[in-house]
Amino acid sequence: MSKVIVVTSGKGGVGKTTTSASFACGLAQHGYKTAVIDFDIGLRNLDLIMGCERRVVYDFVDVINGDAKLEQALIRDKRVPNLFILPASQTKDKDALTKDGVGKVLDRLRETYDYIVCDSPAGIEHGAFIALYYADEALIITNPEVSSVRDSDRILGILASKSYRAEEGLEPVKEMLILTRYSPDLVHKGEMLSIDDILDILSIPLLGVVPESKAVLQASNSGIPIIMNQKSNAGMAYSDLVKRFFGEDQSHRFITMKKKGFLSRFLRN
C-alpha cells in the first residue's frame, strides 16, 4: 500500500528540501517507486537540489489545472531508478493548490507509486497546510535551536488537528523527528540543545540525526542529493535513517564529540 509522507518543519532553512531529496532518493534506492513533490509554489527549489532544473517542462499546478498530464510533468531521475520528481510552479499563484486538486493528483500517484514524498514550504500558510493535509506519515525537520523546536511543535499541533486523518477521525499521522545541523562539539560545550533536550520537549520518536556538514552545501552546489555522497557523515546519516524507516535496527552515528588529538586538547578544549 502506498504512503504519503510530508517533510515539514514550520521554520525555513532547516533542511526540508535537502531531506526530501535525500529521503526520496533513499526510498528509491531500496527499490520502491517513489515520487517527490515540491509544494513550494513560486519558490521552486527541489529541482535544483535534485539537479534536474533544466528538465522542467510542466509542473504540479499544470497537472492540477489539467494543462498537462501527470506523466508529462513527472521527471525521471537519471541516477536512481524508480525516482521521480514533480516540480512546483515558479510563476502561478499558490492558491492553485486546492484540497480537491492536490487530493486527485495524490490519488493518481497512489495507484502506481509506493511512496509519495511531499516537500513542504516553510511557514504555516496555505502551501504548508496543503502539503501536510493528506499525509499518512510526517518527517519533522528540526534544528537544535529554539525557534526551530518551537515551530516544529506548532506543526505537530496542526498535524494532530487539521490534517485529513485528524478531520476524518482516522489513525493519527505518524510523526518522526529528524534533527539536522547537529553539532556534537557544541552540545558537549553546553552551547547547543542536545538530542535528549529536544526529544524531551517534542516527545516524538527520533528517526535520525544529521550532523552539520560542509558536504551538504557541496551537494546542493552540484545538484546531487547528499545521500549519494556516502563519504560524508551527513550522507551516511541519511542512509541510516532511511534504513531505520524500514525498520532496520541502526544505531545513531555522529552524535558524540570527535576524539581530539593530544596537541589540540592541550592547546584548547
Partner 1 sequence: MGILDCFQNTRTNTASIAKERLKIVVSHERSLRHGQLDYLPSMQQDILDVIKKYIEIDNDQLKMNIEHDDNYEVLEMNITFPDSQNLFKPIEP
Decide whether 27 or 209 has the Cβ nearer to partner 1: 209
Q: Are 20 and 85 in contact (CB under 8 A)?
A: no
Size of interface with partner 1, in residues (CB under 8 A): 23
Q: Which of 157, 205, 218, 253 binds partner 1 (CB under 8 A)?
A: 157
Closest to partner 1 by CB, 68 vs 201, is 201
Distance separating alpha carbons of residues 232 and 212, to the nearest angstrom: 11
Confirm or reject binding of residue 155 to partner 1 (CB under 8 A): no
| Burial classification of residue 209, based on how many CB atoms lie within 10 Å of its CB (0-12 exposed, 13-18 middle, 19 or more buried) | buried
Region 206-265 residues binding partner 1, contact defined as CB under 8 A: 265
Contact between 67 and partner 1 (CB under 8 A)? Answer: no
Nearest CA to 46 among 220, 217, 178? Answer: 220
Q: How far separated are the first and last CA of the chain, in Å rounded?
A: 52
3-class DSSP state of 90: coil
- Minimum separation from the CB atom of position 180 to partner 1 (A): 17
| Helix, strand and coil in the chain, % to nearest 5 | 45, 15, 40
188 membership: H or E segment, kind and range: helix 184-188
Coil, strand or helix: which one is 247?
Answer: coil
Q: Which of residues 135-154 bind partner 1 (CB under 8 A)?
A: 145-146, 149-150, 153-154
Q: Among residues 54, 221, 248, 266, which is the contact residue for partner 1, using CB under 8 A?
A: 266
Rounded to whole angstroms, how far apart are CA atoms 143 and 251?
20
C-beta closer to partner 1: residue 40 or 151: 151
| 66, three cell numbers | 489539467
- Closer of 115 and 182 to partner 1 (Cβ): 182
Nearest to 3 by CA among 108, 166, 117: 117
- Smallest distance from partner 1 to CB 185, Å: 12
Please tell me whether residue 71 binds partner 1 under the rule CB under 8 A.
no
CA 156 to chain centre: 15
CB of 196 to partner 1, least distance (A): 9
Q: What angle do CA 50, 10, 1 make, to 5 degrees?
A: 60
Question: Rule CB under 8 A: is residue 65 a binding residue for partner 1?
Answer: no
96 binds partner 1 per the rule CB under 8 A: no
Nearest alpha-carbon partner for 234 in 224, 245, 248 = 224
Contact between 167 and partner 1 per CB under 8 A: no
Task: Name the residue nearer to partner 1 (CB basis): 253 or 265.
Answer: 265
Q: Which parts of 175-194 interact with partner 1 (CB under 8 A)?
A: 187, 189-194
Cβ proximity to partner 1, 65 vs 183, nearer residue: 183
Smallest gap from Cβ 197 to partner 1, in A, equals: 5
Interface positions with partner 1 (CB under 8 A):
145-146, 149-150, 153-154, 157, 161, 187, 189-194, 197, 200-201, 265-269
